[in-house]
A and B are shown apart, each in its own frame.
Chain A
């Protein structure tokens, strides 16, 4: 188990490319899905990243991540320092289940069949304060099952959930998530969002200090709600641990220009990126190492 204030690695490896997520093209997304339906193809890329010095895999709780976890459990000696940063949940499995089963039945489907909560949901009782906490904890535990025996020093909430809860005003859920991740998994909670300044206000209000916030940070302001100026101001004046994603804005900026911008921002702690080829991984990693402004 890791302590609460571990530094994060500067470079984290993301997983969008493995699961057909591409913001530019459905064709490219499908081609990637075809390539990576073979587990070995994924492992080869993770291996290539590992050889370039990237030992942290930031991944959603997609069903297929379980196979990746199995591989790393079976080959622990080959990757002694390897670690996962789980991001939960993989939202489409919930969204499709809600369309098919309705909200409560979908929720029941993802909770363990036995126990008091299932029985309570079946009865349709009002969900009192304590029960929400119990349900969230059970959902987190269900998502974490696939990572048993692996190092997971940072556990994050996916942006579609963070931003849904943030918009609705269900602030308490952030506190429950933060505390459960810390108490049960000895991990630091992370929050992925497209709305960093607004989220930070709420986390401050909840007394969640120096939170890890992973959000789009790129030179063209792509999906940086509140605007790029506000993000820059937030980075330089507020206390949090920023992880930048979509640094390349899905390819809209040249890699050098894109990485140079992010590396020069104040207080930046980590950059997460995904790539499918060894050359791209090496180039991006080297650019970050070269352009990173060393901070005291």
Chain B
């Protein structure tokens, strides 16, 4: 039985709460959030012991692990306190906003022999796992290009007042959407060594970017592209896709399916024939003990619980792995601010929102 305390009961926090509480190997000891009405409701109607103060919860409760789902700017200090207390840590993405904090925390966790995991749930989606397996097998030949895309309908008009729209707090499409796509690139094709041609624009937002585009450059000479836009209403919900091109074919994967084209059969993966193979997430995904809104959300929690039980320190989505995504984010921020100091200025103002392309160009 793993004794867990939860910190942060926002949208992701509540989703985690349901999954954690339903896990047969978890004893959810307490939860913590600064919003009194929420903790009042939860303690009164679900019997959950709630704290408003994270330090007090750590001091008073006997825990094995914590799950942190607070706004991103709070991650570093909370993770540090939990690690210093000797607790295993699951932290929502992005891991940290400052790479130096991340390096320090990776070292601390490794020195203390603690389990760490970050909530990059796409690594638990069958189609993406299959894409990573195929690329890493070498079946595509020499990889020369990768493209990661994430689109969705989050900010569709000029306004918004949560931390997700606040600069320096981990808001914006870069931290909310792009880091998922970046982590997928790292997972499937490896971490790029530099970025260039960064575009970060507010389409509707004043203080943060709604779209992020950049080139990814690999030490091998391979190239990549990142295309992210959370102001695209044509998508029903967040939709993420990765494509990898190699000398022997290409692969495209999204949450639903993995499409593979091979020019020649590959010795490493004899089950794949020349030409097209399509594999569906429904076939690739293992059933979970509790389903809320996708197997991957339950699977990542189950994986973390097992890591805690087995003291698995080098598991999927460790702090070390998630820090690679933070490093790419830092490169995008550095390159973007040097190349384009106006990044983040909205194309569309709240006062007069021009609609057509012409009015965007001339307005």
Contacts and interface: CB of A to CB of B under 8 A. Distances in A.
Given A225-B288, A227-B287, A168 B160 contact: no
A27 B50 CA distance: 44
Contacts of A67: none
A224 to B, nearest CB: 7
A84 B37 CA distance: 36
Nearest to A223: B291
B36 interface: yes
Interface stretch (B18-26, B219-227, B242-250, B314-322): B18-26
Interface stretch (B9-17, B55-63, B303-311): B9-17
A24 B280 contact: yes
A20 interface: yes
B162 interface: yes
Given A100-B154, A166-B18, A92 B236 contact: yes
A171 B257 CA distance: 36
A169 B287 CA distance: 22
B42 interface: yes
B290 interface: yes
B282 A24 contact: yes
A227 B293 CA distance: 17
B256 interface: yes
A26 B239 contact: yes
B41 to A, nearest CB: 5
A224 B42 CA distance: 28
Contacts of A163: 18, 290-293
A160 interface: yes
A99 B287 contact: no
B359 interface: no
A169 B292 contact: no
Contacts of A50: none
A221 B21 CA distance: 23
B100 interface: no
A99 B236 contact: no
A170 B161 CA distance: 28
Interface string B105-127: 00000000000000000000000
Q: Interface residues of A toward B: which range? A: 35 or more
A199 to B, nearest CB: 11
B44 interface: yes
B291 A195 contact: yes
Contacts of B164: 99-100
A103 B48 CA distance: 20
A19 B46 CA distance: 34
A7 interface: no
B299 to A, nearest CB: 12
Contacts of B154: 96, 99-100
A222 B282 contact: yes
Contact of B46 (A95, A99, A169): A169
B256 A23 contact: yes
B341 interface: no
Contacts of B291: 163, 194-195, 223, 225
B257 to A, nearest CB: 6
Interface in A108-131: 124-129
B41 A96 contact: no
A167 B22 contact: yes
Contacts of A250: 280, 282
Interface in B262-318: 280-283, 287-293, 295
Interface string B1-13: 0000000001100
A164 interface: yes
Given A19-B236, A95-B11, A26 B254 contact: yes
Interface of A: 19-26, 29, 33, 92, 95-96, 98-105, 124-129, 132, 160, 163-172, 194-195, 198, 221-227, 249-250, 252
22 contacts: A23-B256, A25-B257, A96-B237, A99-B11, A99-B154, A99-B176, A100-B162, A102-B162, A125-B37, A127-B41, A129-B44, A163-B291, A164-B292, A167-B17, A167-B292, A168-B18, A168-B42, A221-B287, A227-B287, A250-B282, A252-B282, A252-B283
